[in-house]
Amino acid sequence: MADRKIRILLAKPGLDGHDRGARVLARTFRDAGFEVIYTGCHQTPEQIVGAAIQEDVDMVGLSCLSGAHRYLFPAVAQQLQEQGADDITVVGGGIIPEQDMQPLYDAGLKALFTPGATLDSIVDWINENIKPRD
């Protein structure tokens, strides 16, 4: 039976070891029926993009709590584009000040989730916006 499942890559770019949030999300996504590839901390944008392409995911979720999101998130979006993989949606989460949001959206991020975002709201966003690519 044909059964398209949503596949998501979760990654923490840069020098940031605080992955509790990402782990909670990984589990939440599993429980929501998605297939989640969790790749852990301390990754370069190159590693994340390489993994996203090999895994044929529909979405990349980036978590960053170290303040380097302005550099790291756009780097991932840009490299996906360079590899012809801009059909993979990129979203981000973490401590992201209000004034940083527009530049990140401009760089190609489709959603940003900050402290206070409920797990349900994130899952709902995915169900609404991410369609497995044909």
Partner 1 sequence: MEELGKRAMAGDIRAASRLIRNIEDDIPETTKAIKHIFPYTGKAHVVGITGSPGAGKSTITDQLIFTMRQREKTVGVLAVDPTSPFTGGALLGDRIRMLRHAEDKGVFVRSLATRGAMGGLSKAVGDGIHVLDVMGKDIILVETVGVGQQEVDIINHAHTVIVVLVPGMGDEVQAIKAGLMEIADIFVINKADKDGARKLYKETLNMLNSGNFPNGWRPPILMLESSLEPHSFAASVEKLCDKIDEHYKHLVERHQLKERAIRKVITEMNDALRAAILEPVLSELAATGEFDFMVEKLLSKETDPYSLAEEISKKYLNK
Q: Which residues bind partner 1 (CB under 8 A)?
A: 1-5, 7, 26-27, 29-40, 43-44, 46-48, 50-51, 53-56, 83-85, 132
Task: For partner 1, give the closer residue by CB, 29 or 73.
Answer: 29
Task: For partner 1, give the closer residue by CB, 58 or 104.
Answer: 58
Query: Minimum distance between the CB of residue 79 and partner 1, rounded to whole angstroms?
Result: 11
Task: For partner 1, give the closer residue by CB, 41 or 101.
Answer: 41
Judge contact between 62 and 72, C-beta under 8 A: yes
